[in-house]
Structures are given as structure tokens and as C-alpha cells.
């Protein structure tokens, strides 16, 4: 098992290329099921979760090939010969449930294991199920598998989500593209990944309006064709690397970044005293004016502050002047990084969904353990500003969402290496 060792050594300088979005790519890949023609994705991230989704699609009979060092994914579902998404694959990754809607739309039936792959809360499938049932699906849970069928084919419906679920919006939007009639999704998620999926589906011939707003309208069509589509920039990787110079000092340009992807996050960075400038190539981030200022953060659905940047933001605020309060409103059990940051000298108190962070003058390197994807990178970021060595174990979590972390951070001057655990 690997470890990552980070040695704090001062300011960073240079450029970091930002990959395509993991969450967008994992949503776009199941869209291949909707058509018997090829779907090709460019700007794909090279991550273990992407490989897991490839394996799942291949198990259903799809052809999946990676080209150009993994940055292009070529897929074809002209010969789907299996309608069972097996537990041994699905358990590794939450996004596996996104094959359910497309399989029902294209095949009329599916058996999909309840997903796993995440330690940050239950994230139930209820909203997905209710939405698909509104389109005419009959779904039963038996022995950990959802057995779904559509005897008369999917039919358009008006669906009111109890909250703006990203996964449910994606799953039902894909299913509705081949349903008869019009589907209206109220209280739909507004994330950039939803817009990216809608853009891709429109290229395939879908009729979708309102993506990026809370009401999405889909007019069903008889069939979808193939397409080529670039995966949108990963706003979570973007925010993560923007925090590197904020924590360590210096100036870094994140290539491919756009303010529109991370505006609420940028607002908090600027409140904390960090300079952010949009350039022709991306976003330039600089820390020049001394200590970080304490800020309060509440996670919210897009366009609010992303829950997937909360752990990284906490790492920044560990050395801020004053006391910051972080309120987590999206997922329960999402402060598992706090005890590990405390091992590095941070002053953090957690009560339910609220963490109070009182800044300290300096963090100290320590052996720490990653508990989930975003927690793992928050510990690496903290190590950039700590005295001595920070040794992060269980970095396999990191590989699910960040490609070439060591290469990207060392390229701007960080002292970081990946080693085999002794």
C-alpha cells in the first residue's frame, strides 16, 4: 500500500493543468447505453473510478476503449447482452447507479445492485426510484438488488424532487430522453455536471431545455445517435489546487479554470485574503498579504459552496487568524478529516454538522490517515504548510478523484513523493 509524504517548504509558483471532471465523466459514460451508435468522450480524467465505470459498462456488453493515454474514452453499446449490474462492481462506486435510468429507457428492464463506494453518508436511492416509478417503471428491492422493468415503456411525467439531488436528476434526465411525451423535473440540481450531461445528450439528439436552472424539461425522442463530447473542467480539482498557493503561499495559475464553475468558493477565498484573477488560460491564485483571515462556510447545492471542497477549505482555515465555523448541510459524517488535522496541531471542535476551527500559528507534520477522497487531499494540502514531514496513509482514496497529484504539486515547487508503505 502506498503513502504520500509532504514536506512543507514555502511558497509555490507555476502552472497546474486541471483535468476533466470526474463526476461529469462518470455521468456521461452511462449515456452510451441510450444509443446503439458510438459515444466518444474527450478530456477524460484518468482515475480508478473511471476504470470501474468502464468495467461495469463492459459487463453489460458495451465496448469501451481508452485512447491518447486515457484522455479519450470511445464507447459503443450496439450489442448490450446483459441487464444485471453486479454487486462486485457496483459496490466500489456510488455513481454505478447511473446505469439504471439508461438501461430502463433502452432495454425496458434492469437489475442493479444497490451501490457503495462512499464513507460520507447513506445517500439513499429513494429519489431515483420514485422518479423512475413516476415515468412508469416497476421497481422491487430483492436481496440487495433493484429489479426494475417497464412493461409499457417509459412515459413522460412531472416529477417534483424533495431536494435537488444531482444523481437523481442525472438518472431520470437520461431515462426521460427516450420516454414517450414530456417530462418536467422540478427542483432539479443545477450543477455544471448536469449542464454538461444535457449538452452531450443534445448532441445525441435529445430535446432538453432548462438545464442549469431548477426546472428541466425533456421531450422524449424515439432514438438517440452517437456523438463526440469534451468533459467539462473538474471544478473540485480546480478548487483543490487553488488552495495550494493559498495554504503554502506564492502564486499558481490553474489552467482551464473558470470563475463560473467556482464562484461561491472564490468568494470565500477572497474573504480570507486570497487574490483570484481570471486569465486567458485559467485562474491565477496568489497569497501575498500575510495571514489568512477566518471565514464562515456553509455547504450548499450549486451554486453554493461545494461540499466536496469543505475538507480542503478546513485545511486552509487551520492557520487563519481567528475562529471559523464550517457547517455541513449536504452529507452527514463528513468531518472525518478533522481528527487527522488535529494530529497536526489544528484546533478543531466538531458538534454534529458543525465544525469550529480556531487558527493556530503553525501546523506540525505527523502520520495521518485518509478516510475518504476529499479528506485525503485536505491532509496533503495541510502538509504543504506544516513543519516537517506529513505522512498520509490509505491514499488509494485519492486515486478515485485526483490524477497525478504528486506530479502536479511538485511541478509548482512542493516537496511531495509517493512511496511504498514500510
Domain spans in the chain, listed from the N-terminal domain onward: 2-19+233-420, 22-230
CA–CA dist 352, 368 (Å, integer): 22
- Write down the architecture of domain 22-230 according to CATH: Alpha-beta prism (3.65)
Q: Tens-digit pLDDT profile for the chain (422 aa)?
A: 899 999 998 899 999 999 999 999 999 999 999 999 999 999 999 998 999 999 999 999 999 999 998 899 999 999 999 999 999 998 888 789 999 999 999 999 999 998 754 443 444 689 999 999 999 999 999 988 999 999 989 999 999 999 999 999 999 999 999 999 999 999 999 999 999 999 999 999 999 999 999 999 999 999 999 999 999 999 999 999 999 999 999 999 999 999 999 999 999 999 999 999 999 999 999 998 788 999 999 999 999 999 999 999 999 999 999 999 999 998 777 899 999 999 999 999 999 999 999 999 999 999 999 988 888 999 999 999 999 999 999 998 898 889 999 999 999 999 999 999 87
Active-site hit among 25, 118, 200, 318: 118
Helix (H, G, I), strand (E, B) or coil at 39: strand
Strands 215-219 and 207-209: antiparallel
**Residue 397: what pLDDT?**
86
Task: Give me 269's grid cell.
Answer: 477565498
**Residue 124: what pLDDT?**
66
CA–CA dist 414, 421 (Å, integer): 21
What is the DSSP secondary structure assignment for residue 211, as one 8-state letter?
A: B
Helix (H, G, I), strand (E, B) or coil at 186: strand
Cross-strand pairs, 139:
148
Which strands make up the sheet holding 323-327, listed edge to edge? 297-298, 323-327, 354-358, 347-351
The CATH class given to the 2-19+233-420 domain equals: alpha beta
Task: Give me 166's grid cell.
Answer: 444531482
308 marked ligand binding residue:
yes
Cross-strand pairs, 106:
none
**Residue 16: what pLDDT?**
98
For residue 118, indicate whether it is catalytic: yes
CA–CA dist 238, 262 (Å, integer): 8
2-19+233-420 matches 22-230 in fold:
yes
408 marked ligand binding residue:
no
Which strands make up the sheet holding 145-149, listed edge to edge? 84-85, 109-113, 145-149, 138-142
Residue written as cell 454487486?
87
Between the alpha carbon of residue 238 and those of residues 110, 199, 294, the distances in Å are 36, 21, 22
Amino acid at each position: 500500500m502506498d503513502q504520500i509524504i509532504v514536506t512543507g517548504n514555502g511558497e509555490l509558483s507555476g502552472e497546474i493543468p486541471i483535468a476533466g471532471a470526474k463526476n461529469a465523466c462518470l455521468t456521461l459514460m452511462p449515456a452510451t447505453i441510450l444509443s446503439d451508435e458510438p459515444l466518444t468522450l474527450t478530456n477524460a480524467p484518468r482515475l480508478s473510478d473511471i476504470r470501474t465505470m468502464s468495467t461495469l459498462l463492459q459487463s453489460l456488453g458495451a465496448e469501451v476503449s481508452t485512447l491518447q493515454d486515457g484522455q479519450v474514452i470511445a464507447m459503443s453499446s450496439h450489442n448490450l447482452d446483459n441487464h444485471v449490474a453486479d454487486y462486485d462492481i457496483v459496490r466500489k462506486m456510488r455513481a454505478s447507479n447511473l446505469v439504471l435510468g439508461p438501461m430502463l429507457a433502452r432495454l425496458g428492464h434492469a437489475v442493479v445492485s444497490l451501490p457503495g463506494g462512499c464513507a460520507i453518508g447513506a445517500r439513499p436511492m429513494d429519489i431515483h426510484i420514485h422518479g423512475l416509478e413516476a415515468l412508469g417503471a416497476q421497481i422491487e428491492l430483492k436481496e440487495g438488488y433493484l429489479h426494475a422493468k417497464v412493461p409499457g415503456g417509459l412515459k413522460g411525467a412531472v416529477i417534483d424532487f424533495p431536494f435537488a439531488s444531482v444523481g437523481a436528476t442525472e438518472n431520470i434526465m437520461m431515462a426521460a430522453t427516450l420516454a414517450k411525451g414530456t417530462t418536467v423535473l422540478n427542483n432539479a440540481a443545477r450543477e455544471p455536471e448536469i449542464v454538461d450531461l444535457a449538452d452531450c445528450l443534445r448532441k445525441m439528439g435529445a430535446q432538453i431545455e432548462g438545464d442549469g436552472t431548477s426546472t428541466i424539461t425533456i421531450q422524449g425522442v424515439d432514438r438517440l445517435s452517437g456523438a463526440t463530447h469534451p468533459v467539462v473542467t473538474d471544478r473540485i480539482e480546480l478548487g483543490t489546487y487553488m488552495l495550494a498557493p493559498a495554504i503554502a503561499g506564492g502564486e499558481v495559475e490553474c489552467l482551464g479554470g473558470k470563475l463560473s464553475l467556482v464562484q461561491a468558493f472564490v468568494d470565500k477565498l477572497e474573504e480570507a485574503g486570497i487574490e483570484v484573477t481570471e486569465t486567458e488560460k485559467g485562474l491565477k491564485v496568489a497569497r501575498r498579504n500575510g495571514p489568512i483571515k477566518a471565514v464562515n462556510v456553509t455547504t450548499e447545492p450549486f451554486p453554493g459552496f461545494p461540499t466536496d471542497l469543505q475538507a480542503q477549505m478546513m485545511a486552509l482555515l487551520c492557520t487563519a487568524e481567528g475562529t471559523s465555523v464550517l457547517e455541513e448541510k449536504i452529507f452527514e459524517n463528513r468531518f472525518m478529516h478533522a481528527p487527522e488535522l488535529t494530529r497536526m496541531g489544528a484546533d478543531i471542535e466538531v458538534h454534529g454538522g458543525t465544525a469550529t476551527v480556531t487558527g493556530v500559528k503553525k501546523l506540525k507534520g505527523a502520520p495521518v490517515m485518509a478516510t475518504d477522497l476529499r479528506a485525503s487531499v485536505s491532509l496533503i494540502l495541510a502538509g504543504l504548510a506544516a513543519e516537517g514531514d506529513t505522512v498520509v496513509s490509505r491514499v488509494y482514496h485519492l486515486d478515485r478523484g485526483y490524477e497525478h497529484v504528486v506530479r502536479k504539486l511538485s511541478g509548482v515547487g512542493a516537496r511531495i513523493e509517493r512511496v511504498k508503505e514500510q
